[in-house]
Structure 1
Amino acid sequence: MKKISTLALGIALSLGLAACSSEPTTKVAAVSGIELQNFDASVRHQDDFYYSVNGKWLANTPIPADKSNYGAFSVLYDQSQAALKKIIDDAAASTQAAPGSNTQKIGDFNASFMNTTLLENLGVSPLTPLLSDIASVKSHHELPALMGKLLVNGSGIPFGFFVNNDAKNSSQYAVYLSQSGLTLPDRDYYLKDDPKFVATRQAMAQYVTDILTEAGYQDAKRAAKHVADIELMLAQGQWSRVASRDANKAYNKLDREQLQHLMGAFDFNAFAASAGLGDKVSAVIVRQPSYLEQLGEQFTRFPVAAWQDYLAFHLVDSYAELLSQKFVDVNFAFKGKTLMGIEAQEPRWKKAVDGADQVIGELVGEEYVKQHFKPEAKARMETMINNLIKGFEVSINELEWMTPATKLAAQEKLAKFTYKIGYPDKWKDYSGLEIKADDLVGNYMRYARFEYQGMIDKLGKPIDRTEWGMTPQTVNAYYSPVKNEIVFPAAILQPPFFNMDADDAVNYGAIGAVIGHEISHGFDDQGAKYDGDGNLRDWWSDKDREEFQKRGQQLAAQYSKYEALPGKFVNGEFTLGENIGDLGGLTVAARSYLMSLQGKSAPVIDGLTGEQRFFMGWSQVWRRNYRDEELSRRLLTDPHSPSHFRAMGTPRNIEAFYRAFEVQQHDKMYLAPDERVKIW
């Protein structure tokens, strides 16, 4: 990880000055990086910039039977899977792997996943010890300790538990509790009478019945009713996703006595002892207090037998994909087909690769980086990141709506950003994780305990700044508000996001906008509540905060008008953070690209100007086809807007787009100047 050099504060740089470093490979590129074959000539760029750039690809690219959606991310994901398969196959073929070595762990994990004959013989038996623990409970008093044990072993319980930087004291780790415990994707599936939701609830009842029957339950229909009743209660107590986004409302630090009082009949201390917390934790940050309060109030109103059925189902559900084929099939029929519209299961090898990525991700990731990530890609990314940081600095200084004091505070935060590119400087130590060739479920349970203990062991120790939240082979990127860092795994640094052979314009429109997106998360409607040290602290003047919120509300209203499916619209409030990230990221990337030219004119390539290629680079990375079930699910659960509205909704607000394509008032992409939102 590199520390970004301190930026000069309060110095405004005009757009044409040499504010950004030139790229190490600056030259007239042989290729534009724009995939012209995907253009739909029947759609004007000025009318729908998503379909004009991607229309042929969208029309001619079916969604594979084993996927719920397919797009540019999916192509890179498939490439990553294929690369990992070769790494895993090589390890599996080794005859001289020392016990405990990386090669042994990789090879034996794959063997445990691919030995379907053994899994058929085992059936549900790998879960028998924990199922017996559940069946032996005789009172409500014993249930919290049981839940602690189940949590440590990777099973679902009614609330989530994790360790992260304390949002108001980011130099220390803290324990967080959050609402959880539902089988369906969102509380709306339980609470609304939409016919599709009613049908999904009925399908869930059948799923619970079928999977518990396969697990040997004598009265699985009764158990399914208990599961439905408890999950309805949990859903009724849950906060909406919009409310849960509020960083201030979701920070509620309670000492153990206050937490126990909040949870009433639920013995949190017994849970904590079973979960290995002991006296390590004197306070807990509760994200949705009223949810835990209702859980405590309702806890003893459900008989012990109902909670046993609920916990047994969630245990089997958590591990169903790792059991015999009947469990796998029943799980897929509901979670794959019903909830996401997927037509066919993935080949076994793909599931094994995904499993290795989850359980021993940095073991395979270390080899992935050696084979597939070039040092020059990291160097070029460093240059681009620093250019985007400088572009953001200029943008802050030129904001007409922000007062000097708040600008200074924003610049101070920007100066403290750190970044990570490609892979960790320090690889994760898996020496404490035992992997066996004949114990797939055991491998996952040991992994769950290994990860859990690693999380608990952080408490009371300094913050580990080397830790990554994604593996290098992940096609994604992220911003951490409590660490004030942006992270770009190796796998996303490939075309169409990042093309080493292409002109800079497309790279700034693609990975440059992604970089800008992650930086902008530090200044979105929630990220802007944290300071440069990662602390939840108000650094805004009242006037600036009010204007910032006004602009955010305008953007939310704009996106809420986009209809993704008949009668189903984007939730502009839920997606606001990501939409601000897109708008800020693309705006600053456009500025940074022009600054990187250092006053020179961009070359015309493929008949396209630099600014045109820049925006096309943005649009082409978002191409994606969705199944209706998956898109419907994402409208409720995904804080990102659907790809169509990311590609065309963002540039509608940016003046440079209007210049690049001569967008006029009669064009469908046109927004009146007073309707265009500028935040950063």
Structure 2
Amino acid sequence: MTASRWLLATAILAALASPAMAQTKPSGIDLAGMDKSVKPGDDFDSYANGTWRKTAVIPADRASTGIFLQVFEKAEKRNAELIRDAGKGNPPANSDARLIADYYAAFMDEAAIEKNGLAPLKASFDQIEAISSVKDLSRVLGDGLRADVDPINATNLDTENLFGLWVSQGLEDPTHSMPYLLQGGLGMPNRDYYLGKDKSMADARTAYQTYIAAILKQAGTPDAEAKAKAIFDLETKIATAQESIVDSEDIHKANNPWPTAEFASKAPGIDWAEYFGAAHLDKAKTINVWQPGTVHDVSALVASQPLQTWKDYLRFHAINHSAGLLPKAYNDLSFGFYGTVLSGTPKQRDRYKRGIGRVNADLGDAVGKVYVKRYFPASSKAEVQQMVKNIIAAFADRVDSLDWMTPATRAKAKAKLDTLLVGVGYPETWRDYSKLKISPNDPVGNSLRAGRYETAHQLAKLNAKVDRNEWWMTPQTVNAVNLPLQNALNFPAAILEAPFFDPKADAATNYGSIGAVIGHEISHSFDNTGAEFDAQGRLANWWTPADEAHFKAAGQKLVEQYNQYEALPGLHVNGQQTLGENIADVSGLTIALAAYHKSLGGKPAPVIDGLTGDERFFLSFAQSWRTKTREAALRAQLIGDGHAPGQFRAQTVRNIDGWYDAFKPQPGQKLYLDPSQRVKIW
């Protein structure tokens, strides 16, 4: 997730070891990228990044550019080397190296892919064609259930399977894992694309229906236009049944444990016995239904809509899901819609880069083990762990200083910090892929088998002890995450790179960038969702009524603040949808500033490049969020993402008293907030 960069904290301790040495370090601020014609109090993002944005060019194969892309491209180059090296020396069968080499070779063999056409999907097509009843349909739908829901954001709505599966500990019982069933079934990113009234959404709908028809025509489907309309109409009905992102983010609305025996009465339509049997969930006694109204209404659609429409829907999605692994005609159609129409990206990424992405998606830990051996030394892991401890300590100090929090709530908050599990760099236990069949000439089969293998891995947790140390990201992922149910944090190795962290730069810059991100991830344990979970990851209210009221009132002020930001003409940031990330930004920046000041040991910060320590701190924060995004991709982010766009995250500074001291914004300037209006949560 965007707030991930904090692994980069690794060498900060060394950078801070000697105050005298720190004075000789460069500021780490991109002075040339600033636009000093803009007043900081009017637009701090443009002040920090305006000149960079005027000259930055978004690569033709990307929807945006910025700091994350820089770090991602470094990791991608390393991954390319690792994957290409995997086949050297004829590694033994079923070894990680052999699996990586064969998977990549199959993806890169374009001649074989063209020759095979749609033949790799024959088994799926035969299964679909044999459907002659709701019972058959239910069995096929259950067989298609995959653990493909984004575990970092369990409100994910865009799985192409009718429902999504997630397996984790229970919301109220952290000692046992349980399956979660979530809404899905759409070919476009989320329900707003089907139901939105503005022209951009209407245009997307027209383009999507055209795309469905084009895929069906390419596959030789009779009456492709009519079938495309029927498929689109069915998906529109599914979208109408879905919950909004904001409602799906409400963890209390998601707490709906249904006994499997009651699904038939709670959500009639699907033959649930057939569905659960095919999904290997028939032994589960209870399933948590994240969006119960959606499951009820979609189940009814299974019984009420024509079987032929469902069969056409399933056939289209079988092709659509594997389009990037099929002949060029299908791949080009898919990119034309998802890449160009929905994201505004004119050029598809080079095939070898797409191959790297595929290998990492399906064999992530196999690549990750090699990645950390080559690029993430034990010293880096130890330094990051120490940095995290320092930021957690600063957070604890902050909790102690809150004048609005009662002792009872303060004790519970401190308990969460004390039991927070922090994974740095890589997991302690790696995935075992030795039983996964990977062929050097079957890219579609490799992907489908990997999906089943991952689903089996997740379902196996239902009969095992809960592992709070479980990782949800691979080491080569440029990201980081907070996991509320586990009360845990994951910081993958690949994020530990400049410019997020630069051991040659001044401490203020490192604290403003990586320190703020470390604080951000810690703060997620106390955002509007994280604050609902106790020290054991149990959904439980640990707040006194007065403290809870204060916390929610502060959050509402932040909602209203972000609602004012207009990202595109007539399209504003959704303050409620982005609330959790915005709370973490405000809190993380507050804690990072406190930690930076403490690191100075009572000595004044040096002035470097004409900038004070606090000026460098805040400029570093804003430059960390510099982004330039294509309009279509920005629109998609505003509609479906829990993060505000980078230019508005940079404006978080307006809530921090220290920023006012550093840059002296004046009343009447656009960002200026009276002290009583500044949002302070942690």
Question: After TM superposition, is the score higher than 0.5?
Answer: yes
Structure 1 gaps, min length 5: 1-19
How is 1:507-518 mapped onto 2 (pairs within 5 angstroms)? 507-518=510-521
Q: Which amino acid aligns with 1:262?
A: K
Give the C-alpha shift of residue 487 in structure 1.
1.4
C-alpha distance in structure 1 between counterparts of 2:104 and 2:192, whole Å: 38
SS in structure 1 of the partner of residue 340 of structure 2? helix
C-alpha distance in structure 2 between counterparts of 1:153 and 1:295, whole Å: 19
What corresponds to 2:117 in structure 1?
123
Contact 2:482–2:524, Cα closer than 8 Å, also in 1: yes
Q: Number of residues paired by the alignment?
A: 658
- Which residue of 431, 447, 450 maps to 2:450? 447
Deviation string 1:107-145 (CA, Å, 9 cap, x unpaired) is 111111110000000111111110111011001121111
SS in structure 2 of the partner of residue 169 of structure 1? coil
Give the C-alpha shift of residue 266 in structure 1.
0.7
**Larger displacement relative to structure 2 (549-558 or 489-498):** 489-498
C-alpha distance in structure 2 between counterparts of 1:396 and 1:22, whole Å: 27
Give the C-alpha shift of residue 22 in structure 1.
8.9
SS in structure 1 of the partner of residue 605 of structure 2? coil
Give the C-alpha shift of residue 465 in structure 1.
3.3
* Cα separation, partners in 2 of 1:498 and 1:153, compared to 1, 3 Å: closer
Q: Which amino acid aligns with 1:231?
A: E
Deviation string 1:452-493 (CA, Å, 9 cap, x unpaired) is 111111112112234211111111110000001111111111
Deviation string 1:158-190 (CA, Å, 9 cap, x unpaired) is 211121111111121110001111111221221
What corresponds to 1:675 in structure 2?
677
Q: Which amino acid aligns with 2:225?
A: K
C-alpha distance in structure 1 between counterparts of 2:505 and 2:663, whole Å: 21
C-alpha distance in structure 2 between counterparts of 1:313 and 1:427, whole Å: 35
**Larger displacement relative to structure 2 (229-238 or 494-503):** 494-503
The percentage of aligned residue pairs carrying the same residue is 40
How is 1:564-579 mapped onto 2 (pairs within 5 angstroms)? 564-579=567-582
Q: Which amino acid aligns with 1:176?
A: Y
- Which residue of 257, 262, 283 maps to 2:261? 257
Contact 1:471–1:489, Cα closer than 8 Å, also in 2: yes
Contact 1:377–1:500, Cα closer than 8 Å, also in 2: no
What corresponds to 1:656 in structure 2?
658
Q: Which amino acid aligns with 1:48?
A: D
- Which residue of 126, 145, 149 maps to 1:132? 126
Q: Are residues 1:107 and 2:101 paired? A: yes
C-alpha distance in structure 2 between counterparts of 1:21 and 1:152, whole Å: 43
Structure 2 gaps, min length 5: 1-11, 149-158
C-alpha distance in structure 2 between counterparts of 1:640 and 1:127, whole Å: 37
Contact 1:473–1:490, Cα closer than 8 Å, also in 2: yes
- Which residue of 621, 638, 644 maps to 1:618? 621
Q: Are residues 1:162 and 2:166 paired? A: yes
Deviation string 1:269-322 (CA, Å, 9 cap, x unpaired) is 21111112232x000000110111111223222011011111111111111111
Give the C-alpha shift of residue 192 in structure 1.
2.5
**Larger displacement relative to structure 2 (46-55 or 482-491):** 46-55
SS in structure 2 of the partner of residue 171 of structure 1? coil
C-alpha distance in structure 2 between counterparts of 1:529 and 1:615, whole Å: 30
What corresponds to 2:400 in structure 1?
397
SS in structure 1 of the partner of residue 501 of structure 2? coil
Contact 1:153–1:445, Cα closer than 8 Å, also in 2: no
Q: Which amino acid aligns with 2:133?
A: S
C-alpha distance in structure 1 between counterparts of 2:530 and 2:518, whole Å: 15
- Which residue of 226, 230, 247 maps to 2:230? 226
What corresponds to 1:192 in structure 2?
196
What corresponds to 1:42 in structure 2?
37
Contact 2:163–2:184, Cα closer than 8 Å, also in 1: yes
Give the C-alpha shift of residue 24 in structure 1.
6.9
C-alpha distance in structure 1 between counterparts of 2:329 and 2:145, whole Å: 25
Contact 1:255–1:283, Cα closer than 8 Å, also in 2: yes
How is 1:295-374 mapped onto 2 (pairs within 5 angstroms)? 295-374=298-377
What corresponds to 2:85 in structure 1?
90
Deviation string 1:520-572 (CA, Å, 9 cap, x unpaired) is 11111111000011000000111111111111011000000000011110000
Q: Are residues 1:582 and 2:585 paired? A: yes
Give the C-alpha shift of residue 26 in structure 1.
4.0
Deviation string 1:354-378 (CA, Å, 9 cap, x unpaired) is 0111011111112222222233332
Q: Are residues 1:67 and 2:62 paired? A: yes
C-alpha distance in structure 2 between counterparts of 1:502 and 1:164, whole Å: 40
* Cα separation, partners in 2 of 1:163 and 1:26, compared to 1, 3 Å: farther
C-alpha distance in structure 2 between counterparts of 1:429 and 1:204, whole Å: 39
* Cα separation, partners in 2 of 1:153 and 1:509, compared to 1, 3 Å: closer
**Larger displacement relative to structure 2 (352-361 or 498-507):** 498-507
Contact 2:425–2:493, Cα closer than 8 Å, also in 1: yes
* Cα separation, partners in 2 of 1:153 and 1:389, compared to 1, 3 Å: closer
Q: Which amino acid aligns with 1:451?
A: E
SS in structure 2 of the partner of residue 233 of structure 1? helix
SS in structure 1 of the partner of residue 177 of structure 2? strand
**Larger displacement relative to structure 2 (154-163 or 58-67):** 154-163
